[in-house]
Amino acid sequence: MNIILLLIPVALIIVVIAIYFFFWAVKSDQFEDLDRQGSNILFDEDDTSSNKTDNPKR
């Protein structure tokens, strides 16, 4: 029963920290462009600066 007296405040502190980070992320525009990162995986990048066939360890 004594463990509940410890777990409830710890859980409340974790919730307060999670709410703080959520509002920080919204305030700093972390959720501004949700579609771009999801569609980046669908398109290849034309990276000419590095040649992938030059890696001898493959």
**pTM, entire model:** 0.55
Q: What is the pLDDT of residue 1?
A: 83
> Is position 53 within any domain?
no
Q: How far apart are the C-alpha atoms of 54 and 47, rounded to whole Å?
A: 14
> Is position 41 within any domain?
no
The boundaries of the domain holding residue 12 are: 1-29
Q: Is residue 58's pLDDT more than 60?
A: no
> Is position 11 within any domain?
yes
> Is position 7 within any domain?
yes
Q: Into how many domains does the chain fold?
A: 1
- 1-55: pLDDT as tens digits: 899 999 999 999 999 999 999 999 989 988 777 677 677 777 777 766 655 565 6
> Is position 43 within any domain?
no
Contact 31, 25 (CB under 8 A): yes
From residue 28, give the alpha-carbon distance in Å to each of 2, 11, 21, 43, 45: 40, 26, 10, 27, 28
Q: How far apart are the C-alpha atoms of 57 and 19, rounded to whole Å?
A: 46
With a CB cutoff of 8 Å and minimum separation 6, the contacts of 25 are: 31
